């Protein structure tokens, strides 16, 4: 076990990589009575095609299967329902699936060791039957319908669909009713044995935990368990062109919405350290589009949009920025965005103020048990390791490099999507 | 954790000292009996106050000021607390230990600026700002229906609680917007500041004397404390047979809200038995009876849960379903409630719920906002403190739960029907 000290944060993460490849990150936090633990596989909705271990032919599984599998792992052969088990311990358990990972977690204040052992046990022992697979379809159908009634979600899903031509990121996480109808227990077992291998998984625990005892339980559950090779990621030969540059969808919305996606290639940027590059990109987004920007002021003062914002994602060599708004004047919104992103200049005052904010936020991120777990989780998903020197990186950000990134930022490669009322 | 309440005559200061947090959180509670005509006005007012101030007279300048103070974040929240309209101004500040000396004081001064030094000229708010905020609120209210789950709960309360405070839409009313202007908004502002009962809460690693001084310098009230109306709504009898209302709308999933009435409870029932009952019936875990039967056994819903509102004497059950299953879902919910009344619940069910509540109590002291909420409940409703509560929750018996279950009855059922196949 190795101690990773987080510079300037008065916090350490205890790290161990087991022989079978499972990675463990334990972060005890003083003065807390609660804890949280996540058991994660680097398998999300993006992995719909793969060559199973020992086979030669690629298989294509239905969209939405990673999420379906997440639901089904709550089924156990002995009939002990994980929700019931955790409720009995006074704890809370749940899971989520996104494009990159599936995560199972619990939170609580007592009986930590039993809870940890149970988490590893139920995720490690799948139990799928024709009946329990059929039963789940009704539940997930309701979950899909709920999402279809949420215009913001439909907008975000459609934006991705129009951004990527080949990457599975073009599909949403949950799939359609038609997709999930096709799922069988054999599909589930096939995906499970391909991606729920220790070498493809990691554990994060934060808060009121005993590092030594937790490690013992993990060893007890994994010693002697080997890992099969996990299918390689497929190269989808995605290029910079977007799938559909302009589009309009109709939905039951009272006020139209607009979404934009800007697709850029990671390798086109001059900063090769990805953590630093991300900080520079966040800096540009924060200063140019954030709450204290001229852009923000113009939109708000002129009621151009009711609610608007940004999010960004990294996927297979691409960095994509998404911009969305609920607006009666979609074209005016787009024009305003273009006006402020044409010739980006960032003042030293703004640059230094944001560095100060990020330092404050970094201190806050290990204040709370859940935030600490999130912070570790995001590091692993984004960078495949703990970034232990964030404070130093933030302090070291400089205007010269920022200007180099700005110079290479190309926002011409874009998707524009409008959502209007059905009756328009 | 050390607590001190200081009576300032016209208001109270509550100071809580703990080294659990790297932050200092300040919350200012202002409350007055709720009236329908105040709600939309109050929403506009608090949006205007946090948009800009006299000194920081654009939204951009105010945002920059918050950022300069190491991202001190000011928020305002309006909500109904039983019979009261409550407005809470909050600020979340990083302790000076992690920033620089005097930062917290300056951040509290900024909160005071937001409350007491608005962008007002000759008793009128800045018309430009009021217009921006009114337009924003108008658009928000116009698209309220897009949030089908929230809309279903709003419509249920309106149908079930006509003319009672619990039927009021806290998001405001579209038709009230047009009459709001820079002058009457200022009157409303004066009324809020001059006539609301005020409580100031500060939690963090603070020095009592120093903080008391900072608060008294920055905040004041003119209200003479006198006994006002209670927090609890008057009780209302449940209908003999539940009323079922359905409305159609253009979306996929039907949103069901079931409203139940709760007869008068004792203090013990309210603070301890009701939360246990609610967890067993439909509380937040995946282990409630509603979840187990309606979702897991029959696959009728992805989500179904219940929540209780002790000040309103109500309990609501909410679910997203397909419309063809409406009757079955209502029947099953009814069956589950009857089963509990008949005592069909195990000691395990009760033990689990108590364990979850105990665990929640253990975590209160980890979050500055929860700490303030706890002291606020103790002060306003006379609830037990955490130490007592941990002992009392253990005393809840099966008999208590059955007795309470008999006091709960379905009253009104509202379904916003999805109509897309």
To the nearest 10°, the Cα dihedral for B354, B358, B360, B363? -170
Question: Mutate which of A10, A114, A146 to test chain B, going by most B C-beta atoms within 10 A?
Answer: A146
Assigned token pair, B200: 């100031």
User: In this complex, do A90 and B356 lie within 8 Å of one another by their Cβ atoms?
Assistant: yes
Nearest CB to A149 within list B139, B253, B322: B253
User: In this complex, do B136 and A136 lie within 8 Å of one another by their Cβ atoms?
Assistant: no
Q: How far apart are CA B257 and CA B305, in angstroms?
A: 10
Residues 6 or more apart whose Cβ sits within 8 Å of residue A137: A180, A181, A183, B299
Per-residue confidence (pLDDT) for residue B27, from 0 to 100: 98
Q: How far apart are CA B403 and CA B276, in angstroms?
A: 13
The closest alpha carbon to A251, from A23, A53, A418, belongs to A418
Nearest CB to B63 within list A142, A148, A291: A291
Nearest CB to B362 within list A109, A151, A359: A109
Give yes or no for residue B354 having a pLDDT over 80.
yes
φ/ψ (deg, to 5) at A16: -145, 140
Give yes or no for residue B421 having a pLDDT over 60.
no
Q: What does the DSSP assignment read for A277-330?
A: HHHHHHHHHHHHHSTTSHHHHHHHHTT--SEEEEEEEEETTEEEEEEEEE-S-H
Quickly name the fold that domain A246-421 has: Cytochrome Bc1 Complex; Chain A, domain 1 (3.30.830)
Q: Are A102 and A70 in contact (CB under 8 A)?
A: yes
Beta-carbon count within 10 A of B78 CB: 19
Q: Are B95 and B211 in contact (CB under 8 A)?
A: no
Nearest CB to B285 within list A87, A143, A291: A87
| Band of pLDDT at residue B225, cut at 50, 70 and 90 | low
User: In this complex, do A297 and B58 lie within 8 Å of one another by their Cβ atoms?
Assistant: yes
User: In this complex, do A368 and B366 lie within 8 Å of one another by their Cβ atoms?
Assistant: yes
Alpha carbon B204 to its chain centroid, in Å, reads 23
Give yes or no for residue B196 having a pLDDT over 70.
yes
Domain A2-222: top CATH class: alpha beta
Nearest CA of chain A to the CA of B26: how many Å?
17
User: In this complex, do B367 and A368 lie within 8 Å of one another by their Cβ atoms?
Assistant: yes
The closest alpha carbon to B119, from B49, B193, B181, B219, belongs to B49
Chain B residues with CB under 8 Å of A353 CB are 64, 67-68
The closest alpha carbon to B48, from B184, B145, B194, B144, belongs to B184
Q: How far apart are CA A411 and CA A346, in angstroms?
A: 17
Catalytic residue from among A23, A70, A136, A238: A70
| Band of pLDDT at residue B250, cut at 50, 70 and 90 | confident
User: In this complex, do A34 and B362 lie within 8 Å of one another by their Cβ atoms?
Assistant: yes
Q: Are A182 and A3 in contact (CB under 8 A)?
A: no
Chain A residues with CB under 8 Å of B369 CB are none
Question: Mutate which of A367, A391, A419, A421 to test chain B, going by most B C-beta atoms within 10 A?
Answer: A367
The closest alpha carbon to A330, from A311, A310, A306, belongs to A306
Beta-carbon count within 10 A of A202 CB: 24
What 3-state DSSP class applies to B24? Answer: strand
A residues 223-262 lying closer than 8 A (beta carbon) to B: 252-255
Question: Mutate which of A80, A137, A292, A294 to test chain B, going by most B C-beta atoms within 10 A?
Answer: A292
Question: Mutate which of A133, A145, A365 to test chain B, going by most B C-beta atoms within 10 A?
Answer: A145
Residues of chain A with pLDDT under 50: none
Beta bridge partners of residue B249, listed in sequence order: B418
Average pLDDT over residues B271-279: 97
Chain B residues with CB under 8 Å of A253 CB are 143, 146
Q: What is the pLDDT of residues B130-146, one digit of tens each?
A: 999 999 999 999 999 99
Nearest CB to A146 within list B59, B320, B353: B320
Residues 6 or more apart whose Cβ sits within 8 Å of residue A91: A106, A107, A108, A109, A110, A111, A115, B356, B359
Listed in order, the ranges of chain A carrying CATH 3.30.830.10 are 2-222, 246-421
Chain A residues with CB under 8 Å of B136 CB are 303, 306
User: In this complex, do B320 and A360 lie within 8 Å of one another by their Cβ atoms?
Assistant: no
Assigned token pair, A300: 């708000």
Q: Which residue of A lies nearest to B350 if distances are taken between CA atoms?
A: A88
Chain A residues with CB under 8 Å of B367 CB are 368
Q: Are B252 and B421 in contact (CB under 8 A)?
A: no
Nearest CA of chain A to the CA of B187: how many Å?
24
ipTM value of the model?
A: 0.91
Q: Are A64 and A175 in contact (CB under 8 A)?
A: yes
Q: Reply yes or no on whether A267 is catalytic.
A: no
Report which DSSP code applies to B293: I
Q: How far apart are CA B8 and CA A414, in angstroms?
A: 59
Per-residue confidence (pLDDT) for residue A9, from 0 to 100: 86
Per-residue confidence (pLDDT) for residue B227, from 0 to 100: 61
Domains (ranges, CATH) in chain B? 2-218 (3.30.830.10), 243-418 (3.30.830.10)
- Using the Cβ of A391 and the Cβ atoms of chain B, whether some distance falls under 8 Å is answered with no
Nearest CA of chain A to the CA of B214: how many Å?
23
| Band of pLDDT at residue B228, cut at 50, 70 and 90 | confident
Average pLDDT, chain B: 95
On the CB side of A153, how many CA atoms lie within 13 Å of its CA? 15
Give yes or no for residue B284 having a pLDDT over 80.
no
Chain A residues with CB under 8 Å of B351 CB are 88
Q: How far apart are CA A354 and CA B338, in angstroms?
A: 58
- Using the Cβ of A86 and the Cβ atoms of chain B, whether some distance falls under 8 Å is answered with yes
| Band of pLDDT at residue B64, cut at 50, 70 and 90 | very high
Give yes or no for residue B420 having a pLDDT over 70.
no
Chain B residues with CB under 8 Å of A326 CB are 139, 143
Sheet of A414-421, strands arranged across: A246-251, A414-421, A257-265, A318-326, A307-315
Give yes or no for residue B201 having a pLDDT over 80.
yes
Euclidean distance between the first and final Cα of chain B, in Å?
A: 56
Q: Which residue of B lies nearest to A366 if distances are taken between CA atoms?
A: B22
The closest alpha carbon to B33, from B289, B306, B230, belongs to B230
Longest dimension (CA), chain B: 67
Average pLDDT over residues B252-268: 96
Q: How far apart are CA B249 and CA B258, in angstroms?
A: 18
Per-residue confidence (pLDDT) for residue A177, from 0 to 100: 96
User: In this complex, do B287 and A139 lie within 8 Å of one another by their Cβ atoms?
Assistant: no
């Amino acid at each position: 076990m190795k101690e990773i000290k987080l510079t300037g944060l008065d916090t350490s993460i205890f790290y161990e990589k087991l022989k079978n490849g499972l990675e463990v990150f334990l972060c005890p936090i003083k003065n807390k009575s609660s804890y949280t633990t996540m058991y994660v596989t680097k398998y999300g909705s993006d992995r719909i095609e793969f060559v199973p271990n020992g086979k030669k032919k690629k298989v294509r599984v239905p969209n939405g299967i990673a999420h379906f599998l997440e639901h089904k792992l709550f089924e156990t052969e002995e009939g002990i329902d994980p929700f019931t088990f955790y409720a009995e311990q006074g704890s809370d358990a749940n899971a989520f699936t996104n494009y990159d990972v599936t995560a199972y977690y619990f939170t609580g204040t007592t009986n930590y060791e039993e809870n940890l052992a149970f988490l590893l046990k139920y995720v490690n022992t799948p139990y799928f039957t024709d009946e329990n697979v059929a039963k789940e379809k009704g539940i997930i159908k309701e979950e899909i319908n709920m999402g279809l009634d949420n215009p913001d979600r439909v907008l975000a899903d459609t934006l991705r669909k129009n951004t990527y031509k080949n990457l599975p990121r073009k599909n949403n996480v949950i799939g359609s009713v038609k997709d999930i109808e096709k799922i069988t227990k054999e599909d589930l077992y096939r995906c499970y044995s391909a991606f729920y291998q220790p070498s493809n998984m990691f554990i994060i625990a934060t808060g009121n935990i005993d590092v030594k005892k937790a490690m013992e339980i993990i060893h007890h559950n994994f010693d002697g368990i080997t890992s099969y090779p996990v299918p390689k990621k497929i190269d989808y030969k995605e290029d910079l062109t977007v799938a559909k540059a302009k589009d309009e969808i109709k939905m039951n919305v009272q006020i139209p919405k607009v979404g934009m996606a800007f697709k850029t290639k990671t390798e086109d940027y001059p900063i090769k350290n990805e953590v630093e590059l991300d900080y520079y990109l966040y800096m540009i987004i924060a200063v140019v589009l954030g709450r204290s920007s001229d852009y923000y002021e113009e939109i708000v003062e002129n009621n151009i949009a009711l609610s608007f914002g940004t999010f960004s994602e990294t996927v297979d060599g691409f960095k994509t920025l998404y911009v969305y708004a609920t607006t009666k004047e979609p074209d005016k919104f787009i024009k305003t965005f273009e006006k402020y992103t044409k010739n980006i200049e960032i003042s030293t005052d703004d640059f230094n103020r944001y560095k100060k904010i990020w330092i404050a936020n970094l201190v806050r991120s290990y204040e709370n048990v859940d935030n600490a777990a999130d912070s570790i989780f995001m590091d692993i998903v984004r960078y495949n390791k703990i970034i232990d020197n964030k404070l130093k990186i933030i302090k070291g950000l400089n205007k010269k490099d920022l200007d180099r990134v700005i110079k290479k930022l190309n926002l011409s490669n874009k998707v524009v999507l409008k959502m209007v009322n059905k009756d328009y | 954790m050390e607590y001190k309440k200081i009576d300032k005559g016209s208001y109270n200061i509550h100071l809580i000292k703990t080294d659990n947090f790297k932050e200092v959180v300040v919350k200012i509670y202002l409350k007055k009996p709720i009236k329908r005509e105040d709600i939309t006005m109050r929403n506009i007012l608090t949006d205007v106050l946090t948009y800009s101030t006299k000194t920081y007279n654009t939204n951009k300048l105010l945002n920059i000021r918050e950022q300069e103070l190491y991202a001190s974040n000011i928020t305002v929240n309006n909500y109904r607390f039983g019979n009261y309209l409550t407005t809470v101004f909050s600020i979340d500040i990083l302790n000076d230990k992690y920033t620089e000396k005097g930062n917290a004081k300056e951040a509290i001064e900024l909160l005071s600026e937001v409350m007491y030094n608005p962008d007002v000229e000759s008793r009128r708010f800045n018309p430009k700002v009021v217009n921006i905020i009114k337009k924003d609120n108008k658009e928000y209210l116009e698209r309220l229906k897009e949030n089908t789950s929230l809309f279903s709960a709003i419509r249920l309360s309106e149908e079930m609680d006509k003319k009672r405070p619990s039927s009021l839409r806290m998001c405001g009313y579209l038709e009230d917007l047009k009459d709001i202007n820079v002058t009457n908004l200022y009157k409303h502002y004066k009324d809020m500041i001059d006539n609301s009962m005020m409580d100031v809460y500060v939690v963090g690693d603070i020095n009592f004397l120093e903080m008391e001084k900072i608060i008294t310098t920055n905040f004041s009230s003119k209200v003479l404390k006198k006994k006002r109306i209670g927090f609890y709504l008057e009780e209302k009898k449940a209908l003999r047979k539940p009323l079922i209302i359905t409305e159609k709308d253009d979306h996929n999933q039907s949103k069901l809200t079931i409203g139940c009435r709760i007869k008068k409870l004792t203090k013990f029932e309210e603070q301890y038995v009701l939360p246990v009952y609610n967890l067993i019936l439909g509380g937040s875990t995946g282990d409630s009876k509603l979840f187990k039967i309606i979702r897991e056994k029959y696959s009728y819903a992805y989500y179904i849960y219940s929540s209780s509102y002790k000040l309103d004497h109500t309990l609501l059950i909410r679910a997203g379903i397909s419309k063809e299953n409406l009757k079955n879902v209502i029947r099953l919910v009814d069956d589950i409630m009857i089963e509990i009344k008949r005592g069909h619940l195990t000691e395990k069910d009760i033990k689990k719920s108590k364990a979850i509540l105990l665990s929640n109590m253990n975590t209160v002291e980890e979050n500055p906002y929860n700490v303030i909420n706890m002291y606020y409940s103790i002060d306003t409703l006379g609830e037990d403190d955490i130490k007592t509560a941990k002992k009392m929750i253990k005393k809840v018996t099966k008999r208590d739960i059955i007795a309470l279950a008999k006091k709960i009855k379905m009253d009104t059922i509202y379904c916003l029907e999805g109509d897309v196949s």
